[in-house]
Structure 1
Amino acid sequence: MLALLTSLAVAVGCLGVAAGAVGTLGDADDGDDADESDDPENARGSDDSGDYDYVVAKDGSGDYETIQAAIDGAKSFPPDRIRILVRAGVYDEKVEVHAWNPDITLVGESAEETVITHDDHFEKIDRGRNSTFFTYTLKVRGNDFRARDLTVENSAGPVGQAVSLHVDADRAVFENCRFLGHQDTVYTAGEGARQYFSECYVEGTTDFVFGGATAVFEDCRVHSKADSYVTAASTPENEPFGFVFLDCELTADSDVSEVYLGRPWRNHARTAFIRTRMDSHVLPDGWHNWSRPEAEQTVEYAEYDSRGPGAESERVSWTTVLAEDEAERYSKANVLGSESRGEWWDWEE
């Protein structure tokens, strides 16, 4: 009998330990565990749900089964960052990070296996001439958003405007993410908003990076799936920077051979490619005026140290080839800098 009671006590103790291990950050923010959970490098790639406030899992093993439910469950205007782990899976949902949900972090288990997808497009939405802006799969309006190791896809196919990512937030950071679509894949919005993409993959057909925000793409691969245009900036006249590509790579499908670097959605469009490798699909002219010759006097299209077969010919006369000292103006710190927030684009905080 004594042996039986001893065995039962051990079993109960083990169950208590197991139950404690399931808790999220909100249940284990004391002592050494809290210090480790604040280290993003410790969290990256980790299978420990204790590093996060919420866990999303399609199989019901987390706190929520959908990403939107986790965001809706987060505290509005939180005093501290809310970290959400999204388990591997395909999440067919339309997700919005609301303006009252700043300081949200979404981390997938891997960029290839954690996929947010939806199939809205211009004709399906059918809300008139502005239908494009309702087609997003993921819309981010909360400032200081972070995303890492996940895919955002618009699966509508080549059917016209169909946005994957619509980011209308300041100080938004995307690291090692994939953005898949066709026309209008990534919409960077918000006058005065600044956004940073690091080691990301972006694919599309026409104007698949577009909008009026100031956005830096660093060490990214930008892939064209059709003969068309990569960028369509609508930079406000009073903003010094639009899209800046630093140390990126421009690639294309094998049957693609006539691609422009950009065209102006608005007449003061600003786009720069700095130390970017360009495959042969990039046309010698490089840039297009969108059949508006007057825009040639107001746009600011620039390159510095472009490389590869797509960079070997002379560009149209109304663009700029930067000298080394001029290119320094396009440093990440100068484009995105903020005296009050410091280097906010760094993942570590």
Structure 2
Amino acid sequence: MKINLLIIVVLFFVQKAVADGYDLVVAKDGSGQFGTVQQAVDAVPSFRKHVTTIFVKCGVYKEKIIIPEQKKNIRIVGEDKNHTIITYDDYAQRKNRFNEEIGTSGSASFYCSGEGFIAENITFENSAGPVGQAVAMWVSADKATFINCRFLGFQDTLYTYGKEARQFYLNCYIEGTVDYIFGSSTAWFERCQLHCKRSGYITAASTPEASAFGYVFNNCTVTGDDSTGPFYLGRPWRPFAKVLFMNSELPAFIVAEGWHNWGKEENEHTALFAEYNNTGPGALSQNRVKWSKKLSDEEAKSVSISAVFGGWEPAGYKDRKADFR
């Protein structure tokens, strides 16, 4: 009788989740169809044209997740962004079975290559600690969207890997130390909190020369704590790095120079680091490096989500255009 009752309860919650618009349910307590996130991802048919929504109940899921290129249009929704946590503890210097270092890309907790990926209310974490490069999220997918998510780590927390990929981050929390947002993708960060730990560089873009935009931070807030030391807004991982902070709040620990050339004077002639209409004690000052740029009002008008993404309207934006500039 007890077993039958348990089955009824489990079926009730699974059916409720499906009724709420979720196709698959993940739960550590056995109340879902799957006990791990990777099992649910693996159950999604390859090259499915429709969105497959996976609901993940609260819990700490210690998994190294891979969403391959053929798994398109996957949407993962967490029950609570603070308590639905996908985590792993790899780091770049860790050795594989062949006694080789796994490297920065090998250190990621979550890999996303499937186009049209959406994540909501999830924490992505690398729990290795301050041990060098240790990626929480590695994303090469085009048209990837993250809403109300948290990215936790130290060095190299968020790796926007895809060279021609477009990514949108809305109301997200991203923390780290050195180069904690880095990579080649074109990414728009809207109303995100960038939390600086220790001292370092917020961004290390490697924007391809042919890309018109790299990172755009709009209406974001940079934060720290009593232990936070000097931070730069960014430095160019590759020569044609492009980063723009606009309408954002910058604290006093942002160094007066604002930007760093990574020790290569030639980067000053190719990188495009810009600011517009920022506020706070760390906002644009007369001491900014001469090779950075302050946008005019006219130039700022040309920077829009539509322009940056070439017409793609990400989830969380297209239904609320009036809320965006």
Residue in 2 that maps onto 1:230: 202
- Residues 188-235 of structure 1, C-alpha deviations (whole Å, 9 max, x = no match): 011211000000000000000000000000000001101111100000
1:171, 1:345 within 8 Å by CA — same for their partners in 2? no
Is 1:318 aligned with 2:295? no
Residue in 2 that maps onto 1:60: 30
User: 2 CA distance for matches of 1:245 and 1:125?
Assistant: 36
Residue in 2 that maps onto 1:106: 76
TM-score by length of 1: 0.85
How has the CA–CA distance of structure 1 residues 348 and 106 changed in structure 2, closer, same or farther, with 3 Å as cutoff? farther
TM-aligned CA deviation for residue 253 of structure 1: 2.2
TM-aligned CA deviation for residue 16 of structure 1: 12
Q: Which amino acid aligns with 1:91?
A: Y
TM-aligned CA deviation for residue 337 of structure 1: 2.9
User: 1 CA distance for matches of 2:176 and 2:309?
Assistant: 25
2:308 pairs, out of 330, 335, 338, with: 335
Q: Which amino acid aligns with 1:326?
A: E
How has the CA–CA distance of structure 1 residues 270 and 76 changed in structure 2, closer, same or farther, with 3 Å as cutoff? same
When Rg is computed on C-alpha atoms for both structures, the one with the higher figure is: 1
1:149 pairs, out of 101, 118, 121, with: 121
1:71 pairs, out of 38, 41, 44, with: 41
- More displaced 10-residue stretch of structure 1: 250-259 or 78-87: 250-259
Is 1:173 aligned with 2:132? no
How has the CA–CA distance of structure 1 residues 288 and 16 changed in structure 2, closer, same or farther, with 3 Å as cutoff? closer
TM-score by length of 2: 0.91
TM-aligned CA deviation for residue 15 of structure 1: 12
Counterpart of 1:68 in 2: which secondary structure? Answer: helix
- Residues 239-280 of structure 1, C-alpha deviations (whole Å, 9 max, x = no match): 000010011001112122310000000000000001110011
- Residues 107-165 of structure 1, C-alpha deviations (whole Å, 9 max, x = no match): 00011010001000011146757710011111100000000001000000000000000
Residue in 1 that maps onto 2:323: none
User: 1 CA distance for matches of 2:106 and 2:23?
Assistant: 29
| Superposition CA RMSD, Å | 2.2
How has the CA–CA distance of structure 1 residues 96 and 200 changed in structure 2, closer, same or farther, with 3 Å as cutoff? same
Residue in 2 that maps onto 1:277: 249
TM-aligned CA deviation for residue 20 of structure 1: 7.2
User: 1 CA distance for matches of 2:200 and 2:269?
Assistant: 23
2:305, 2:313 within 8 Å by CA — same for their partners in 1? no
> Is there any run of 5+ residues in structure 1 with no aligned partner, and where?
1-13, 25-46
TM-aligned CA deviation for residue 313 of structure 1: 2.3
Q: Which amino acid aligns with 1:330?
A: V
User: 1 CA distance for matches of 2:237 and 2:85?
Assistant: 30
TM-aligned CA deviation for residue 79 of structure 1: 3.0
Percent identity between the aligned chains? Answer: 43
